[in-house]
Chain A
Amino acid sequence: MTIYPPANVLVQKKACSVNPLKSSAPLGAAMAFMGMDRCQPLFHGSQGCTAFGLVLLVRHFKEAIPFQTTAMNEITTILGGIDNVEQALVNVAKRAKPALIGICSTGLTETRGEDVAPELRLIRQRNPELQNTAVVYASTPDYVGGMQEGWAKAVSAIIEAFVPARNQAAPLTPIRGQVNILAGVHLTAGDLEELREITDAFGLEAIILPDLSGSLDGHVPDTYCGTSYGGTSLEDVACMGASVATLAFGEHMRKPAEDLEAKTGVPSRLVLNATGIEGCDRLMVMLSEISGRPIPPRFRRQRSQLVDAMLDAHFHFGGKTVVMAAEPDLLLAYSTLFNDLGAVIPLAVSTVSTPSLQRVPAATVQIGDLEDLELGAKEHHADLLVTHSHGRQASARTGIPLYRVGFPQFDRLGSAHRATLGYRASRDIVFEVGNLFIEAMPNHLLRHGHDEHGDHSVHHEGACGCPGTLEASHGCSHSASC
């Protein structure tokens, strides 16, 4: 493991972003809204803003994505789009009967500086059709931040709209064992399932906001549904003030956590990273403190499995050069795990400058795009590219294998279930990536039975900790060389 000083974060100097890493903030917000039960996300913009995002989400999740648009045109943009918002709300409420409509603004409507939020109350008064549909508005101009930022703004907007403020005179009685989890965009449906199992094991009842594991976990509902099916209910959101603690996952959830704490007084803690052994350990200790229970045996076993995976895999990670590109909190998760195993990260690329990037164990962190990643990969003779599916072109051109992480992953199945959180998921990542390194090894090394080692220069005797005379029970299979 290399100990790096706080990362040197370089700002982007290019005028032209080549092969963008970033997806837009409104898309992040709409995806957060998809984690709400029976929700219809609505983009306030031109219909293309919706169509592009929708297509990308369909390709990633392989699910129907019920996005709608206020269908702004040049005239409505200039004159103001409140009428379009009103029409859209009424039309959506009539047709899909959602419990919630989550509106996100776009670059188009924000450039004019339209203030939608105050109008919503008037729109509701004018339209009794909306009485059974809640509405929330997140301001997410396309030209500020990426998915992570849009996602966080949507979560803040939900908290602002639906969590009741603490009544000083008659504060809620905390419900024992109830915790709030503010899930970041870097967590998959698989992560949230894992997280729920973990909190359950500590005897905690978690309200997860937003909860993609309820809606976009690729299940088959019994009837046709035109909205999201599953996710956090508004009733649950309304109860968040009665929780004993809030855990916010990812630096970008800091602001929503602060909003929630300010409104309810529920103390919050930030989980910066729950991938890799250190992050998992911290999470366990935190949950143990909150629940007042010891860490359940199953996690002790899982930790041991992760330790063993790291022992087996470090041969292959050690000395490998890896370049990565992801949004800050996801980047932190993967870079930490890779660094733990001895991989060297000369360059990590990210979307916006945030405090998380200071912690990324890389020689250089560049705010940039996948062209930066590709050039860095060539310059440093990287062994592996780590980024989302758009890295496939760079991988094809450079011949360097690609490990797909984050969003979008449109050329893979099951991305929603690939987890990063906890010991088990960390163990699986270690194996998956280790296997990629093994696959990339030259044949002559494999033929000589060196396939247990990532580096052919390592002496076999003692290198894996096994003595020269090997017993079968040792579990080391490269007996030929030991």
Chain B
Amino acid sequence: MLKQKLADVFNEPGCEKNQAKSDKDRKKGCTVKGLTPGAAAGGCAFDGAKIALQPVVDAAHIVHGPIACEGNAWDNRHAASSGPELYRMGFTTDMSELDVIYGGEKKLWKAIKEVIAKYDPPAIFVYQTCVPALIGDDVIKVCATAAEKFGKPVIPVNAPGFAGSKNLGNKLAGETLLDYVIGTEEPDDARPTDINLIGEYNLVGELWQITPLFDELGIRIRAGITGDARYHDVACSHRAAVNMLLCGQAMMNVARKMEERWGIPYFEGSFYGIEDTSASLRTIARLCVQQGADADLIERTEALIAREEARCWERIRSFTPRLQGKKVLLYTGGHKSWSVISALQEMGMEVVKSSVRKATDSDKSKALELMDGDAEALVGAIPNPEMYRMLRAGEADIMLSGGRTQFVALKARTAWLDINQERNYAYAGYDGMVELVRQMDKAVNNPVWQRVRRPAPWDADFTGFDA
């Protein structure tokens, strides 16, 4: 069962990367190299599945497994809800040694029953994990029986950790939605300006940086898949007019299969950076009109874009006096890093190095153009010791990177800002870009750096106290 699913998601025809592979490589899955023991980082498939589904905020999410899978991880993400809080509660069968010996199906059944009795959620997602998968607990069967008996959706999420990486878990979560949720209910208010945002999880509430724009244009989010989602909305999401696919290829399967099954056109877009935000809004408007929305939507969208872009650039420029001349080390995957570079340069900041580890060729050439052809400034992976050396030596005033290198910067006593793209970027839309700049100002201009970099009185390079 899981094997078929894996073959299916590895075969995703909508994924460019996948289609570029040989048949042999495709079978190996998305992480072609495989995970290297002793040199792997990141979450497992279960982690990825949970990330992708937990933002269904009114559902209960039960983890079937020993304590580590939920006990070490519950309520640890920043997917925000505008209402229900049930998704933040941790539910787990907390399997004991006896459960491992005798099997955990009965305990899971009882757990589902208890959760329904106490919390009565509109739906329950049940996550399979490694240990019960290994001992052969049939989560799919237990869920099917429970759904029938209790008369509500009980959805098995078959993505045990050992199946693969976090990214794979995202994909399997998408398959789960396609198999059990999307299209299972009918809305009574479908409009040609209804859209779904696929692969958007409303991390740190970034969705709400975009919704005012949609509201103004009369565009309605039918469902976030799954950011700030209600179960009912996801179940009805097949009646949306347009699908926007965010965050790269992880949920490509959902977008493509929804097009296949319900004829919903989709496009890949991003609300990260000014150019991408505008482009995404334009595409949404165009596709909505194509799906029957009033043609004036396009004009209204253009007017909004012109106004917001001007306002955004003006606000960014207002930071110039505080940020001009500051040196930035930009350490992201490199995907779309050029759009950050252009904003930084607008304020007169100097990008000393930008990593292009995972960048596409077009990303690279755009970045290179912005960097005046300085190929040496575009780098691959920087090993931590070298990164530490650069920052300690003051080669940059601030590093923008993901959480993994946070302490390299801080221990080198250098300003740091989290702009992790793997978690779908926390600074969305026009306001988000201004917010990013504001945060950067706050970080790099904090007087703390002068204080913590000063040698101690007993150090050889101590030069005396302030006058």
**Is residue A344 contacting chain B, with contact meaning CB distance below 8 A?**
no
Given contacts A91-B39, A220-B413, could you give 19 more A-B pairs where the C-beta distance is less than 8 Å? Answer: A15-B108, A16-B91, A17-B93, A20-B70, A20-B94, A24-B68, A27-B68, A49-B44, A49-B161, A64-B407, A85-B37, A92-B39, A112-B134, A143-B66, A143-B95, A221-B411, A224-B389, A226-B385, A390-B74
Could you tell me the distance between the alpha carbons of A393 and B75 in the complex, rounded to whole angstroms?
A: 9
B-side interface residues, number (CB < 8 Å): 73
Could you tell me the distance between the alpha carbons of A144 and B36 in the complex, rounded to whole angstroms?
A: 28
Indicate with 1 or 0, residue by residue over A70-109, a CB within 8 angstroms of chain B CB atoms.
1111100100000011011111100100000000001110
* Cβ–Cβ < 8 Å partners of A69 in chain B: 35, 37-38, 40
Indicate with 1 or 0, residue by residue over A135-151, a CB within 8 angstroms of chain B CB atoms.
00000011110100000
Please state if A56 and B37 are interface contacts (CB–CB under 8 Å).
no
Contact of A77 among B111, B134, B406 (CB under 8 A): B134
Chain B 155-175 residues near chain A, CB threshold 8 A: 160-166
Contact of B38 among A15, A46, A68 (CB under 8 A): A68
Distance in angstroms from B166 CB to nearest chain A CB is 8
Please state if A22 and B37 are interface contacts (CB–CB under 8 Å).
no
Contact of A59 among B34, B35, B76 (CB under 8 A): B76
* Cβ–Cβ < 8 Å partners of B204 in chain A: none
Distance in angstroms from A32 CB to nearest chain B CB is 16
**Is residue B317 contacting chain A, with contact meaning CB distance below 8 A?**
no
Please state if A87 and B73 are interface contacts (CB–CB under 8 Å).
no
Identify the A interface with B (CB < 8 A): 14-20, 22-24, 26-27, 42, 45-49, 51-53, 55-56, 58-59, 63-64, 68-74, 77, 84-85, 87-92, 95, 106-108, 111-112, 141-144, 146, 220-221, 223-224, 226, 390, 393, 410
Could you tell me the distance between the alpha carbons of A84 and B112 in the complex, rounded to whole angstroms?
A: 36
**Is residue B416 contacting chain A, with contact meaning CB distance below 8 A?**
no
Please state if A19 and B67 are interface contacts (CB–CB under 8 Å).
no
Binds A, one of B19-27, B96-104, B259-267, B305-313: B96-104
Given A20-B94, A22-B71, A48:B46 Cβ within 8 A: yes
Binds A, one of B82-90, B325-333, B355-363, B425-433: B82-90
Could you tell me the distance between the alpha carbons of A91 and B40 in the complex, rounded to whole angstroms?
A: 10
Could you tell me the distance between the alpha carbons of A88 and B67 in the complex, rounded to whole angstroms?
A: 25
Contact of A16 among B36, B110, B131, B408 (CB under 8 A): B110
* Cβ–Cβ < 8 Å partners of B352 in chain A: none
Distance in angstroms from B273 CB to nearest chain A CB is 27
Given A20-B74, A112-B134, A142-B67, A393:B96 Cβ within 8 A: no
Indicate with 1 or 0, residue by residue over B113-155, a CB within 8 angstroms of chain A CB atoms.
1110010000000000011011100000000000000000000
Distance in angstroms from B117 CB to nearest chain A CB is 10
19 A-B residue pairs with Cβ-Cβ distance under 8 Å, sorted by A, are A15-B110, A20-B90, A24-B72, A48-B161, A52-B73, A71-B35, A71-B36, A71-B40, A73-B34, A73-B35, A73-B164, A87-B36, A107-B66, A107-B100, A107-B131, A112-B134, A141-B97, A143-B100, A224-B408
**Is residue B41 contacting chain A, with contact meaning CB distance below 8 A?**
yes
Please state if B38 and A89 are interface contacts (CB–CB under 8 Å).
yes
Contact of A51 among B41, B71, B88, B100 (CB under 8 A): B41
Contact of B39 among A51, A68, A108 (CB under 8 A): A68
Given A20-B90, A70-B37, A108-B131, A56:B69 Cβ within 8 A: no
* Cβ–Cβ < 8 Å partners of B42 in chain A: 47, 51
Please state if A95 and B67 are interface contacts (CB–CB under 8 Å).
no
Distance in angstroms from A33 CB to nearest chain B CB is 15
* Cβ–Cβ < 8 Å partners of B74 in chain A: 19-20, 390
**Is residue B224 contacting chain A, with contact meaning CB distance below 8 A?**
no
A57 and chain B: residue at smallest CB distance? B72
* Cβ–Cβ < 8 Å partners of A95 in chain B: 38-39
Please state if B67 and A143 are interface contacts (CB–CB under 8 Å).
yes
Contact of A49 among B38, B68, B76 (CB under 8 A): B68
Please state if A111 and B100 are interface contacts (CB–CB under 8 Å).
yes
Contact of B89 among A48, A59, A112, A393 (CB under 8 A): A393
A410 and chain B: residue at smallest CB distance? B76
* Cβ–Cβ < 8 Å partners of A47 in chain B: 35, 40-44, 161, 165
B387 and chain A: residue at smallest CB distance? A224
Chain B 161-215 residues near chain A, CB threshold 8 A: 161-166
Could you tell me the distance between the alpha carbons of A345 and B62 in the complex, rounded to whole angstroms?
A: 31
A62 and chain B: residue at smallest CB distance? B407
Could you tell me the distance between the alpha carbons of A64 and B96 in the complex, rounded to whole angstroms?
A: 31
Distance in angstroms from A52 CB to nearest chain B CB is 4
Please state if A87 and B37 are interface contacts (CB–CB under 8 Å).
yes
Could you tell me the distance between the alpha carbons of A34 and B184 in the complex, rounded to whole angstroms?
A: 49
Please state if B134 and A56 are interface contacts (CB–CB under 8 Å).
no
**Is residue B47 contacting chain A, with contact meaning CB distance below 8 A?**
yes
**Is residue B10 contacting chain A, with contact meaning CB distance below 8 A?**
no
Contact of B92 among A16, A52, A56 (CB under 8 A): A16
Please state if B73 and A56 are interface contacts (CB–CB under 8 Å).
yes
Distance in angstroms from B2 CB to nearest chain A CB is 8
Between A71, A88, A91, A95, the greatest number of chain B beta carbons within 10 A of the residue's beta carbon is seen for A71
Instruction: Give the 10 A-B CB pairs with smallest separation, nearest first.
Output: A48-B44, A91-B38, A88-B38, A15-B110, A16-B111, A24-B68, A88-B37, A142-B66, A224-B388, A46-B161
**Is residue B65 contacting chain A, with contact meaning CB distance below 8 A?**
yes
* Cβ–Cβ < 8 Å partners of A144 in chain B: 96-97
B39 and chain A: residue at smallest CB distance? A91
Contact of B76 among A24, A56, A92, A146 (CB under 8 A): A56
Contact of A146 among B39, B67, B89 (CB under 8 A): B67
Contact of B130 among A27, A53, A63, A77 (CB under 8 A): A77
Could you tell me the distance between the alpha carbons of A87 and B165 in the complex, rounded to whole angstroms?
A: 19
* Cβ–Cβ < 8 Å partners of A72 in chain B: 162
Given A14-B114, A56-B76, A111-B135, A22:B67 Cβ within 8 A: yes
Please state if A107 and B65 are interface contacts (CB–CB under 8 Å).
yes
Distance in angstroms from B396 CB to nearest chain A CB is 15
Please state if A26 and B68 are interface contacts (CB–CB under 8 Å).
yes
Contact of B134 among A18, A108, A141, A393 (CB under 8 A): A108
Please state if B35 and A48 are interface contacts (CB–CB under 8 Å).
no
Distance in angstroms from A21 CB to nearest chain B CB is 8
Distance in angstroms from A98 CB to nearest chain B CB is 11
Please state if B107 and A19 are interface contacts (CB–CB under 8 Å).
no
* Cβ–Cβ < 8 Å partners of B85 in chain A: 393
Given A17-B92, A20-B71, A111-B134, A143:B44 Cβ within 8 A: no
Between A16, A26, A46, the greatest number of chain B beta carbons within 10 A of the residue's beta carbon is seen for A16
A223 and chain B: residue at smallest CB distance? B388
Between A18, A72, A223, the greatest number of chain B beta carbons within 10 A of the residue's beta carbon is seen for A18
* Cβ–Cβ < 8 Å partners of B67 in chain A: 17, 20, 22-24, 142-143, 146
**Is residue B365 contacting chain A, with contact meaning CB distance below 8 A?**
no
Contact of B162 among A19, A68, A74, A88 (CB under 8 A): A74
Please state if A226 and B115 are interface contacts (CB–CB under 8 Å).
no
Between B37, B90, B99, B385, the greatest number of chain A beta carbons within 10 A of the residue's beta carbon is seen for B37
Given A15-B111, A46-B162, A59-B76, A52:B69 Cβ within 8 A: yes
**Is residue B384 contacting chain A, with contact meaning CB distance below 8 A?**
yes
Contact of B72 among A17, A27, A46, A92 (CB under 8 A): A27
* Cβ–Cβ < 8 Å partners of B163 in chain A: 73-74
B2 and chain A: residue at smallest CB distance? A74
* Cβ–Cβ < 8 Å partners of A89 in chain B: 38
Could you tell me the distance between the alpha carbons of A393 and B85 in the complex, rounded to whole angstroms?
A: 9
* Cβ–Cβ < 8 Å partners of A53 in chain B: 68, 72
Distance in angstroms from A160 CB to nearest chain B CB is 22
Given A47-B40, A48-B46, A224-B388, A143:B411 Cβ within 8 A: no
